[in-house]
Amino acid sequence: MHNQDTTTNSAVSQGQQAVEQTLTDTVLASFDNCENPRLKEIMRSLVTHLHAFVRDVRLTEEEWNTAIEFLTDVGHITDDKRQEFILLSDVLGVSMQTINVNNATYKDATEATVFGPFFVEDAPEIPIGGDIAGGAPGQPCWVEGTVKDTNGNPVPNARIEVWEADDDGFYDVQYTDGRVSGRAHLYSDENGNYSFWGLTPTPYPIPYDGPVGKMLDATGRSPMRASHLHFMVTAENLRTLVTHIFVDGDELLQSDTVFGVKDSLIKNFEEQPASAPTPDGRDLEDQTWSRVEFDIVLAPENV
Which position has the higher pLDDT, 8 or 51? 51
Per-residue confidence (pLDDT) for residue 8, from 0 to 100: 54
pLDDT score of 2 more than 50 = no
Per-residue confidence (pLDDT) for residue 279, from 0 to 100: 96
Mean pLDDT of 187-205: 97
Per-residue confidence (pLDDT) for residue 1, from 0 to 100: 41
Query: Reduced to 3 states, what is the DSSP secondary structure of residue 215?
Result: helix
Query: Reduced to 3 states, what is the DSSP secondary structure of residue 67?
Result: helix
Which position has the higher pLDDT, 4 or 139? 139
**Residue 3 near residue 25, CB atoms below 8 Å:** yes
Question: Is the four-CA dihedral 111, 271, 205, 132 of positive or negative sign?
Answer: negative
pTM of the model as a whole: 0.89
**Residue 243 near residue 112, CB atoms below 8 Å:** yes
Per-residue confidence (pLDDT) for residue 142, from 0 to 100: 98
Cβ within 8 Å of residue 86, ≥6 positions away? 95, 115, 116, 117
Listed in order, strand segments (DSSP E) in the chain are 140-149, 159-163, 183-187, 193-199, 204-205, 224-225, 228-234, 241-247, 266-267, 270-272, 289-293, 296-298
pLDDT score of 206 more than 60 = yes
Mean pLDDT of 5-30: 87
Tens digits of residue pLDDT in 219-277: 999 999 999 999 999 999 999 999 999 999 999 999 999 999 999 999 999 999 999 99
Tens digits of residue pLDDT in 95-151: 999 999 999 999 999 999 999 888 999 999 999 999 999 999 999 999 999 999 999
Q: Over the chain, what is the mean pLDDT?
A: 95
Mean pLDDT of 185-195: 98
pLDDT score of 177 more than 50 = yes
Per-residue confidence (pLDDT) for residue 249, from 0 to 100: 97
Nearest to 113 by CA among 128, 127, 97, 137: 97
Which position has the higher pLDDT, 197 or 82? 197
Tens digits of residue pLDDT in 54-63: 999 999 999 9
Tens digits of residue pLDDT in 137-169: 999 999 999 999 999 999 999 999 999 999 999
pLDDT score of 7 more than 70 = no
CA atoms within 13 A on the CB side of 227: 18
Nearest to 183 by CA among 118, 238, 138: 118
CA atoms within 13 A on the CB side of 155: 26
Query: Reduced to 3 states, what is the DSSP secondary structure of residue 174?
Result: helix
- What percentage of the chain reaches a pLDDT higher than 90? 91
